[in-house]
Amino acid sequence: MTAPYAAAQPTRAEIDALAGPVLLDFGTNWCGHCQAAEPVVSGALAGHAGVRHLRVEDGSGRPLGRSFGVKLWPTLVFLRDGQEQARLVRPRDAAAVAEALTRIDSA
């Protein structure tokens, strides 16, 4: 099972400075849409061991989510070397998640 959404958040500067492929997963632990998407995301990630998956708790007053313009949960932001390459909102299709992962993970 995937780790819960973390209440502690990195800063936007820290995210922008990350090297390599990163999946930022914004949501909350109690969100039904987030719970439904979790097996889709974790299944797609199984073939991408080199992708860092950061589950970030989002909500009112959370600056990281606001800096990415997050409005609905879960929102997946796919980054390569700190630059956004793809974004999915409320993903239900494992193929869409896998395709976005291939855009950031060249391994």
Q: Which of 24, 29, 41, 48 is nearest to 92 (CA)?
A: 41
Q: Which residues, listed in sequence order, are joined to residue 85 by a DSSP beta bridge?
A: none
pLDDT of 79 above 90: yes
User: Residue 47: is its pLDDT beyond 90?
Assistant: no
Domains of the chain by start residue, with CATH? 12-104 (3.40.30.10)
Calculate mean pLDDT across residues 57-64. 94
Over range 19-26, report the average pLDDT.
98
- The pLDDT, as a whole number, for residue 2 is 75
Q: Is the peptide bond before 74 cis (omega within 30 degrees of 0)?
A: yes
pLDDT of residue 107: 52
Q: How many Cβ atoms are within 10 Å of 3's Cβ, its own excluded?
A: 8
The residue length of the chain stands at 107
Output DSSP code: residue 6: B
